[in-house]
Each structure stands twice: as C-alpha cells, then as structure tokens.
Chain A
Amino acid sequence: MKNMEIAPVAARTVLRPTRGWVAIDFRELIRFKDLLFQLASRDVKLRYKQTLLGVAWVVLQPVLAAGLLTFAFGIVAGLKTEQTPYFLFSFAGLAAWNLFSWTLNKASLSMVGNAYLVSKVYFPRLILPLSGTISSLLDFGVSMGLMVVLMVVYGVHPGFALLVLPIWICLLLCMSLGIGFIAAALTVSYRDVQYILPILIPFMLYASPVAYPVSHLPARYQRVFFLVNPLAGLIEGFRWSLLHTTPPPLRYVAWSAALALTAFVLGAAVFRRAERKVADVI
C-alpha cells in the first residue's frame, strides 16, 4: 500500500459504559459526514431502480397528488381558497406535508431497516435517520423547483414573506425528525410502530390544513385546531410565505415552534439512550 501515512500522535479514545442521558456528539457526526452522504445517495440511487419512468416519478408524484386533491376538493367540493388557484394552494400544502411525512417515515424505519449495519459496524447511529432526511430534502427540492414553475405560470409573485421560508422548513424538519427519532428507538424493541405509522400518517394528512385553509373552520374551533395540531401553524406559515395566503396567528406559530424544538431535543435524547442497546436487541 502506497501513501501510507499514519499520524505520529494518534487521537486517544477512551471507552467506558455510559449511563443516563447523553447529548448529541456533533464532532463525531461531522467526522462521519461522508457516510451520511453515501447512505443518502444509496437511497436515492436505489429508489427508482427497476421502474419504467425512473426519476420522472419525483416530478409526477407531487403533481398527481395535488391533482387528486384539486379534483376532490377544488372541483367536486368547490372549496374556495381566497384569490389563490386551488392547484397551487394544495401543491404548496403537499410540499410541506411531504417533507414532514417522508422524513418521519424514513427516520422511523432507519434503525430496523439497517439492522445488518448496526450489528456489524460502528458509526453514530443518528446518521441513519439523518441520511433519510437528506433524500427527502432532495425530493422536496424538486417540488420547490416545480413550485417556482407553477408560480410563474399562474403569475404569483412572492413577497418579503419568502425570506422566512427556511424557518418553516427547519421547524417542519425538527418536528418530523423528533417524532421519527422516538419512533425509530421504539421500533427496535416494539415493531408495532412500523404498523401504526402507515395508518397514522394519512390520517394526519387530512387532520392538517393541506387540502383546506384553517380559515374555513368555524372561528371558535380554530384556536383548538392550532393547539391540538402543531403542524397546522407550520403548514399555514409555509404556504403564506409562498402564496400570501392568510398567515397563522403569531401565538400559534410560537406554540408550534416550541413543540417542534422540544420534539427534536427530546427525540434525539431518547434515540441516543436507545442506540446503546440496539446492537444487542436487533
């Protein structure tokens, strides 16, 4: 082997049994960033292998889904979404929703799905749910590209609200990863989670303001709606940033943000606590 270089003073690692709660080791995560991207690129490469339309699905999926909602709610039910065309309205809602649900779904399956890696190699286990997030962010990026095209076609000009778009994206990711971390940790011992989520996720889609605006709800229920479903504030905010729809009241945005950040921190802690036992249980 040529070019064999060994650092004269190699870093020393001390391993001891850990107890209780541990924080996220960001330095370790950065050290393994190449693995993070390799796993994400594996996911992306494999997803459309052996499909006829291949990558076209990345574009087709959100368009077809928004088309279906437009047919059911916009045309059949005749839902009015202020001055925004319904297709654009539901497309934006779905983009936010898909980012949430794909990330949650991938994160929850990441530990069990990669059991053969977990029991044979060391790496910070957080890499697994995070690599799934990268591939769902990629899909989200494609949706956003389509969104730009649609906005040009429909002649919708975004305002200054666009500047806070990254905030909604971050909060949606925090929320989905937080729940996903907990789901992944639970799935290691209890596979039930794998069966609950596919039922819960579509249910949550209709319980969130994706196909309809919160303003259509009777005024007295809006408050409860925002409080019970923290996603509501984030999806409404996301859509407001793009399409000038009615913005969610600030106090509910604060509530959603607080829950999203709590979910992320709590989820990461639960995950870190569970990862120690994973190789022994899986």
Chain B
Amino acid sequence: MSSDLAISIKDVSKTFIIRHDRTAPTTLGEAVSRRVRHPFARSEREQFWALKDVSFDVERGEVLALIGSNGAGKSTLLKILSRITEMTEGEVSLQGRVGSLLEVGTGFHQELTGKENIFLNGAILGMTRAEIREQFDAIVEFSGVERFLDTPVKHYSSGMYVRLAFAVAAHLKSEILIVDEVLAVGDQEFQRKCLGKMGDVATEGRTVLLVSHNMAAIQSLCSRAVVLRAGRLVFAGGVDKAVAEYSSREGAELVGDLQNRRDRSGSGQIRCLSLAIRNASGSLTRSIRPQEPFEILVNYEARTALRDVVVAIDLELLDGTKLSSLYSEFRNEAFSLTAGSGSLSCKVAGLPLKPDTYSLSVFLGGNHAIHDYVTRAMSFEVAPTDVFGTGRLPDRSQGAMILDYRWTDVGRVA
C-alpha cells in the first residue's frame, strides 16, 4: 500500500446465511433437543452475498462518496470498514484512526445531562477523555446548547438533541471519517452548518468516506465516487459521472413491474404489466416535485379485443389511506382495446402533497366486471423542493398538503 492511500479495499466480500427453515431454533432448549434428535441434519441454508469482490482505494485527504440504492451493500461496507462486522473474504488496509458516524447520537442517554452525554458519546466514538476536554468548548459552541448543559437531555427539543449529538461527532479527531447519511438531520440552517463542517474536515487533510442519497450534497463535497449495485462495484471515478451512472442504472427500477405479482384479482382478460411515471420533460422517474405536471402510464396486455374498458389509479399513503382515485369513468372516459399490448396514459396537473413516499394501485375493468386489480402496484416519492422559493419547507408535522397561497395585509375589511 502506498503511503498516500488512506483506505485500500481488496476483494472484500461478505455473506449472510439465510435459513430457509421455519423452525430454526431460537431457544437453547430447541437447539439442544434438535441436535440430540437429528444429530446430522443441516437446516436448509442459502448464502446471500451482501458484498462481492469489492475493491477500491481512497487517497489521503479525499472525500469519496459511496452511492447505490437501498440494499446495494453501502451500509455493510461501512460497517466492515468501521469494524462493527467482519468481512467473509478479502482485506482492508486503513492508514490511521477510523472514526465512524453511522448514526447521530449513538449511546446518548436520556437521563444524563448534556455535559455527561458529551463525554459518554465522545468516548463511544473513540475519543479519549483528554481529547474531549480539549474540544469541549468548541463542541458546546458548535451545538449552541450552552444554557442547558446541566439539564438531562430528555428535556431537550429534538433539534437541540441532534445539534448536540452532531457537535460531538463533528469534533472527532480521526484521520479517516466514515459518515452514513447523517446530513439528513436537523433544520436547513443546521444542515448547511454540517455540510460546511464536512468540507472543513477534508481541507484539514483527513479522509472522508460518505454515504448519502442527497446527490446535490455529494456533488458539492466530493470529487470522486464509487457506485455499488447488488453488492458489486459498478463504477469508480469522477463524481458527476458516478451520479449519472447511478441515475441511469436506477432507470431499470423506475418501472413498477407487475408481471410476477400473484396477489391480484380480476378476470385476467386484460392484465396490467407495469406502471411508470413520466415527468414533463418526458423521462421516466420515481420522484416528482410537488405541483409538477406528470403522467402515469399503465402498460397492459389484452387477451381479446374489448370495448368500454375503464381504468383507475388510486393514490394512497403507504399505510393504505386513499388520497384520491383517478377513475376514468368519472370523466366519462372509456377505451376500446385491441388484443395485444398497449399503454394508457393519465395526465395529472400536479400533486399538492408534502414530500413523502406514496403508493399507486391500478384497476382495469368494464361492463361491471373487474379485469385486473393490483394494490400497491408502485411507489414513488414527492421530492423535497423549495416550492415557495424561500428555502423553507413544511415538514411532516405541518399537514399532508402543500397549497398555493399568499398572505397580504388588506387593511380593514369588516
């Protein structure tokens, strides 16, 4: 390993054993009695490769992003690098102390005061008592909770709690810093402060390995990125190319494929093969902005030619609460379909919804018959967007909808 490399990862693989055995022992008694009764039996097992032959290097002083969709193996890799779990095969070489922030405020205890938690959390993150004492004032100043240092953190607001927790983490003095998605906490102002801190860390010559779903943050902080997909490294290089690679690969997942869904009802004369969402610029997406016009495509296959076909898309919350039904019959719209495959399109002027994940169900019917009905056919997200152009976003506690409104002072009316 050259002296300029901070992290060198060579052919790292990690397997998990999945037992296909519904009666796997969970108590000691079961485990023992099973061994006694069936001494040579082996439960059916399947190996699942969470990571497979991943190799890359990180240079000293570099901020490298790790991107990939959920389940791509990012978190597993971070856990291996931070020594929380062991790899199955391969070798990792680390130059210097590793500090890992897989979560903000690990080990914070509700009953302890802010000051006590600074020392406890610092020690948990690997700082010595002397280091914490040296940085104590800086931590307190960064967190902005000076007045509450002797108050148990259970009395803190969630914002104060997060600020204090991040402040401790931000003052971790390790040559290598491993960060998982911690930028997604706190209010906007605090997020900016955190991003700034991450940038500082890099200019101090330390190495940062960062996982985030926030592509904008990644592009502003990193020069290089590694893309993981299904446990394998698919791209390593410049951050812009990596983000493009990641986005294009995601394209394969943009369509809600329904061909293998068994949990559906209806005659099956027409079947919905897939759902897709297309934005105003014509590209498929799974993320739209509030108020942005878009189009839902229902790709179907009909066994025979059919007349008077009606179609509906239900817009639901993930808990199943129905928000709206886009039913063609309400608008007296019905279709005559020929045998074979085709697509129906539903244009929507925009969703006045707060940022969250939503789900779509699809219904095809006609002449008092149900042809095909699939619930939770596809999910999509309404992305956080600066809708008001003020940098201020309503969060979950501010209701479900985002309406277009404007306040003015109109003097005395009544």
A residues contacting B by CB (< 8 A) are: 1-7, 10-18, 32, 34-35, 37-39, 42, 45-46, 49-50, 116-123, 186, 190-193, 276, 279-280
The complex places the Cα of A7 from the Cα of B204 at a distance, in Å, of 12
The complex places the Cα of A10 from the Cα of B116 at a distance, in Å, of 30
Contact in complex: B124, A45 (CB < 8 Å): no
Instruction: Give the segment of B77-85, B212-220, B380-388 that binds chain A.
Output: B77-85
With A117-B106, A122-B100, A190-B31 given, is the CB distance from A6 to B206 under 8 Å? yes
Residues from chain A with Cβ under 8 Å of B87 in the complex: 15-17
Q: How far is the CB of B196 from chain A (nearest CB, A)?
A: 12
Q: Which 4 A-B pairs have the closest CB atoms?
A: A10-B96, A122-B83, A38-B123, A190-B28
Contact in complex: B84, A122 (CB < 8 Å): yes
Residues from chain A with Cβ under 8 Å of B80 in the complex: 15
With A6-B206, A120-B106 given, is the CB distance from A46 to B93 under 8 Å? no
Q: How far is the CB of A260 from chain B (nearest CB, A)?
A: 25
Contact in complex: B173, A42 (CB < 8 Å): no
Contact in complex: B112, A42 (CB < 8 Å): yes
Contact in complex: A1, B204 (CB < 8 Å): yes
Q: How far is the CB of B141 from chain A (nearest CB, A)?
A: 11
With A1-B200, A193-B28 given, is the CB distance from A18 to B86 under 8 Å? yes
Contact in complex: A16, B106 (CB < 8 Å): no
The complex places the Cα of A117 from the Cα of B123 at a distance, in Å, of 12
Most buried by B among A42, A46, A192: A42
Residues from chain A with Cβ under 8 Å of B123 in the complex: 34-35, 37-39
Contact with A along B103-144 (1 / 0, CB 8 A): 100110101100010011001111111000011001000000
Contact in complex: A6, B205 (CB < 8 Å): yes
Contact in complex: A120, B102 (CB < 8 Å): yes
Which residues 6-56 in B have Cβ within 8 Å of A in the complex? 16, 26-29, 31
Residues from chain B with Cβ under 8 Å of A123 in the complex: 124, 126
B residues contacting A by CB (< 8 A) are: 1, 16, 26-29, 31, 79-98, 100, 102-103, 106-107, 109, 111-112, 116, 119-120, 123-129, 134-135, 138, 171, 173, 175, 200, 204-206
Contact in complex: B93, A280 (CB < 8 Å): no
Q: How far is the CB of A258 from chain B (nearest CB, A)?
A: 27
Find the A residue at minimum CB distance from B93.
A14
Known: A12-B1, A123-B124, A190-B28. 4 other contacts (CB 8 A): A15-B83, A35-B126, A119-B84, A123-B126
The contact sample of 26 A-B pairs, CB cut-off 8 A, is A6-B175, A6-B204, A7-B175, A10-B95, A10-B96, A11-B96, A13-B93, A15-B80, A15-B81, A15-B86, A15-B87, A16-B87, A17-B89, A32-B126, A35-B124, A35-B126, A37-B129, A38-B124, A42-B112, A45-B112, A117-B106, A120-B84, A120-B102, A121-B106, A190-B31, A276-B86
Residues from chain A with Cβ under 8 Å of B88 in the complex: 17
Contact in complex: B31, A117 (CB < 8 Å): no
Q: How far is the CB of B243 from chain A (nearest CB, A)?
A: 28
Q: How far is the CB of B378 from chain A (nearest CB, A)?
A: 32
Residues from chain B with Cβ under 8 Å of A122 in the complex: 82-84, 98, 100, 126
Pick from A117, A118, A186, A279: contact of B28, CB under 8 Å: A186
The complex places the Cα of A193 from the Cα of B29 at a distance, in Å, of 11
Residues from chain A with Cβ under 8 Å of B107 in the complex: 116-117, 121
Q: How far is the CB of B228 from chain A (nearest CB, A)?
A: 18
Contact in complex: A279, B31 (CB < 8 Å): no
Q: How far is the CB of A119 from chain B (nearest CB, A)?
A: 7
Pick from A12, A32, A42, A192: contact of B93, CB under 8 Å: A12
Residues from chain B with Cβ under 8 Å of A10 in the complex: 95-97, 175
Q: How far is the CB of B36 from chain A (nearest CB, A)?
A: 16
Q: How far is the CB of B81 from chain A (nearest CB, A)?
A: 8
Residues from chain A with Cβ under 8 Å of B95 in the complex: 10-12
